[in-house]
């Protein structure tokens, strides 16, 4: 039996031809569900940042703060994660705290979903998994810190984040600070082009930001600058109306005053180089690489990378919320 609201939601999903999960697998929090049914703005958030990206207890504080910022700027946050084998869309504070404080949680990307659900596991969802889940619920806007990408030694390891393929197959606009500089930015952008993903920079220029800093050292550029929230909302509207199946990456440069400053005099690039070499020496591979390198950067910057990471994700949350609000007020 569906409630009136649920039937309305299912009808509206069907009208947009979005495939839903079997209902026993997922749970949409009532506030998110009614916002979706009434076409009010919703912004999805990921939880790999909670379970693997940031240390405790900053992780929980940061995710709660992201939600507050999204609310303050007019949208409803839908933080997505997996708890005991159920996909949750819109974790409650208690659930978020539970996921963020348990030690044995997994990092779930698209490939991991069937296994983790069959094992009734709990997991933080990566950008790829979060996009997939958000889309199945009719959410088109997703705020995060950084997306995965082509790793620097990918010609040897083959390590290319499935976030990129997800962007190529799922129509969600991801608002991030670019891709983390531990990755190979030019090759990441080439790969996104191959997958048909439009990549844009929010601001006055199309310089592609470097996560911890506003610009990248190799001069990479996105397809174009998107100067206002209204322009961004139009872009997302076109993505939806075209029904192409592919997504968008909107890169928001970190504010100048929040760029990373290391306390050792070393620049961030040399810290990254060292951490990557250390990872190779220690035989760290696959989905362990990103969390390992982030941890090393934290140690090497005397935790300054945490503050930078928080500031950039807060900015992304604000802009994502404003874009979602603008998009929903311009419903066709």
Catalytic residues, by residue number, are 46, 180
Q: How far apart are CA 283 and CA 289, in angstroms?
A: 9
Q: Which does 52 bind (CB under 5 to 8 A by kind): Mn ion, ligand PSU, none?
A: ligand PSU
Residue with smaller CB distance to ligand PSU, 5 or 288: 288
Provide the minimum distance between the beta carbon of 12 and ligand PSU in the complex, in angstroms, as a whole number: 28
Give the angle subtended at the CA of 133 by the CAs of 255 and 179, to the nearest 5°. Answer: 30
Burial of 183 (0-12, 13-18, 19+ CB in 10 A): buried
Q: What is the total count of residues that contact ligand PSU (CB under 6 A)?
A: 19
Q: Parallel, antiparallel, or unpaired for β 141-143 and 173-176?
A: parallel
Binding of residue 112 to ligand PSU (CB under 6 A): no
CB atoms within 10 A of CB 261: 12
Residue with smaller CB distance to Mn ion, 159 or 259: 159
Residue with smaller CB distance to Mn ion, 107 or 304: 107
Q: Are 196 and 246 in contact (CB under 8 A)?
A: yes
Q: Which of 77, 81, 90, 148 binds ligand PSU (CB under 6 A)?
A: 148
Q: How far apart are CA 233 and CA 325, in angstroms?
A: 9
Binding of residue 126 to ligand PSU (CB under 6 A): yes
Q: How far apart are CA 60 and CA 47, in angstroms?
A: 10
What are phi and psi for residue 99, nearest 5 degrees?
-65, -35
Alpha helices per DSSP H over the chain: 4-15, 30-37, 48, 58-72, 93-101, 113-118, 127-136, 154-157, 162-169, 185-194, 229-242, 268-281, 289-300, 304-329
Q: How far apart are CA 39 and CA 35, in angstroms?
A: 6
Provide the minimum distance between the beta carbon of 130 and ligand PSU in the complex, in angstroms, as a whole number: 8
Q: Are 263 and 186 in contact (CB under 8 A)?
A: no
Residue with smaller CB distance to ligand PSU, 114 or 265: 114
Binding of residue 140 to ligand PSU (CB under 6 A): no
Provide the minimum distance between the beta carbon of 153 and Mn ion in the complex, in angstroms, as a whole number: 11
Helix (H) or strand (E) holding 45, with range, is strand 42-45
Provide the minimum distance between the beta carbon of 146 and Mn ion in the complex, in angstroms, as a whole number: 13
Q: Which does 177 bind (CB under 5 to 8 A by kind): Mn ion, ligand PSU, none?
A: none
Binding of residue 163 to ligand PSU (CB under 6 A): yes
Binding of residue 100 to ligand PSU (CB under 6 A): no
Q: Which of residues 117-176 bind Mn ion (CB under 5 A)?
A: 159, 161
Binding of residue 46 to ligand PSU (CB under 6 A): yes
Q: What is the total count of residues that contact Mn ion (CB under 5 A)?
A: 2
* Separation of CA 259 from chain center: 20
Q: How far apart are CA 183 and CA 218, in angstroms?
A: 12
Residue with smaller CB distance to ligand PSU, 59 or 220: 59
Q: Which of residues 171-230 bind ligand PSU (CB under 6 A)?
A: 180
Residue with smaller CB distance to ligand PSU, 69 or 80: 80
Q: Which of 122, 290, 322, 328 binds ligand PSU (CB under 6 A)?
A: 290
Q: Which of 43, 48, 91, 116 binds ligand PSU (CB under 6 A)?
A: 48
- By beta-carbon distance, which residue lies closest to ligand PSU? 53
Query: Given the rule CB under 6 A, which residues bind ligand PSU?
Result: 46, 48-49, 52-53, 109, 126-127, 145-148, 161-163, 180, 287, 290, 294
Query: Given the rule CB under 5 A, which residues bind Mn ion?
Result: 159, 161
């Amino acid at each position: 039996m569906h409630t009136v609201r649920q039937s309305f939601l299912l009808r509206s999903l069907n009208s947009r031809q979005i495939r839903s999960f079997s209902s026993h697998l997922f749970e949409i929090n009532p506030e998110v569900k009614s916002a979706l049914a009434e076409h009010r703005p919703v912004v999805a958030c990921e939880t790999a940042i909670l379970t693997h990206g940031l240390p405790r207890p900053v992780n929980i504080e940061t995710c709660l703060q992201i939600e507050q910022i999204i609310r303050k700027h007019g949208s409803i946050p839908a933080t997505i994660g997996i708890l005991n084998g159920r996909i949750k869309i819109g974790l409650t504070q208690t659930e978020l705290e539970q996921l963020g404080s348990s030690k044995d949680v997994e990092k779930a990307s698209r490939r991991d979903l069937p296994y983790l659900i069959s094992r009734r596991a709990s997991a933080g969802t990566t950008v790829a998994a979060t996009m997939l889940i958000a889309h199945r619920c009719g959410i088109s806007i997703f705020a995060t810190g950084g997306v995965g990408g082509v790793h620097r030694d990918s010609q040897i390891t083959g390590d290319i984040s499935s976030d990129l393929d997800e962007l190529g197959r799922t129509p969600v606009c991801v608002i991030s600070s670019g891709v983390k500089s531990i990755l190979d930015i030019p090759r990441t952008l080439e790969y996104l082009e191959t997958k048909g993903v439009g990549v844009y920079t929010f601001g006055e220029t199309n310089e592609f930001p470097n996560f911890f800093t506003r610009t990248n050292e190799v001069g990479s550029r996105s397809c174009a600058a998107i100067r206002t929230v209204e322009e961004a909302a139009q872009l997302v509207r076109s993505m939806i109306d075209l029904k192409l199946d592919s997504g968008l990456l909107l890169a928001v440069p970190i504010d100048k005053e929040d760029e990373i400053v290391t306390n050792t005099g070393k620049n961030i690039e040399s810290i990254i180089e060292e951490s990557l070499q250390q990872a190779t020496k220690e035989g760290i591979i696959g989905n362990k690489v990103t969390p390992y390198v982030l941890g090393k950067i934290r140690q090497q910057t005397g935790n300054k990378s945490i503050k930078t990471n928080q500031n950039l994700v807060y900015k992304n949350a604000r802009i994502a919320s404003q874009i979602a609000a603008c998009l929903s007020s311009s419903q066709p």
